[in-house]
Amino acid sequence: MSDATSLERAPSRAARIARALRAPFRLALDLALPPLCPACREPVGSALGLCADCWAKLSPITRPYCEKLGIPFAYDPGPGIFSMQAIADPPAYARARAAVRYDEIARTLVHALKYGDRLDLAPVMGRWIARAGAELTADADALLPVPLHWRRLWARRFNQSAALAKVVSELTGVAVAHGALRRVKATPQQVGLSKNERAENVQGAFRVPKEAKSQIAGLHLILVDDVLTSGSTVDACARALLRGGARQVDVLVFARVVDAVRAPI
């Protein structure tokens, strides 16, 4: 028996004991043990939310992409090109940018923030968003989180988009315009709906309160949200804001759904 053997065995025994303890007393121990990576359930030492391996698995969206929708192109069609989709069905917003593709890992993060009360993920996700939206925030007047209906906000206790907007605001110095947009219709969840159904679902759901119109008149605003799927929610928001007097509305999200095949024009 040598010292080396006992040294090698020590950590594995400690890990075994930790695992054995963690299972029956998970609730109590989770308060004391380092947080787990929401994607792979490994302990995370730092305040990064995901472990380093899982962060590396995210797929950042970089140019070339459609300058309007922010959807990545498979090859570079040249500068300033819009996608077929942006031309055929132009949104009310001017530009949308997303930090990463909405894949397995991104979904885990978004769900952990939204439903898992993992507000500690907001600073890192917000940093990704701020980086992806540097061109947008450079000349924007205010950020605007996509609002929840008060009933959902009450049930969930926080608005994940507002948490992200707060971080982006701190990093960029662009203020958050609170209360400039209100969700006046409690729309059902968009999950499982077609693109047309989604657009119908959110039609008339957002309104700029009368007292907020002077607050946003002539301003360049950026809507902040966690995920962009069909874009119908942010489009409805942008419509309401433009009707309310805003000069330009851009969109900034953490993750966006990207179809597997989408050729540029």
How many residues line the site for Zn ion (CB under 5 A)? 5
Shortest Å distance, C-beta 14 to Zn ion: 21
Shortest Å distance, C-beta 175 to Zn ion: 34
Q: Which is nearer to Zn ion, 57 or 149 (CB)?
A: 57
Contact status: 181 vs Zn ion (CB under 5 A): no
Q: Which is nearer to Zn ion, 94 or 100 (CB)?
A: 100
Count the neighbouring beta carbons within 10 Å of the beta carbon of residue 219: 18
Q: Is 191 exposed, middle or buried (0-12, 13-18, 19+ CB in 10 A)?
A: exposed
Q: Which is nearer to Zn ion, 39 or 227 (CB)?
A: 39
Q: Which is nearer to Zn ion, 39 or 122 (CB)?
A: 39
Q: Which is nearer to Zn ion, 44 or 168 (CB)?
A: 44
Shortest Å distance, C-beta 258 to Zn ion: 22
Shortest Å distance, C-beta 48 to Zn ion: 10
Binding mask 28-47 for Zn ion (x = CB under 5 A): ---------x-xx-------
Of 181, 50, 73, whose CA–CA distance to 128 is shortest?
50
Return the amino acid letter for 42. E
Shortest Å distance, C-beta 8 to Zn ion: 25
Q: Which is nearer to Zn ion, 37 or 176 (CB)?
A: 37
Q: Which is nearer to Zn ion, 121 or 251 (CB)?
A: 121
Handedness of CA 61, 65, 67, 70 (dihedral sign): negative
Shortest Å distance, C-beta 50 to Zn ion: 5
Binding mask 50-89 for Zn ion (x = CB under 5 A): -x--x-----------------------------------
Shortest Å distance, C-beta 128 to Zn ion: 16
Where in 122-151 is the site for Zn ion (CB under 5 A)? Answer: none
Binding stretches for Zn ion (CB under 5 A): 37, 39-40, 51, 54
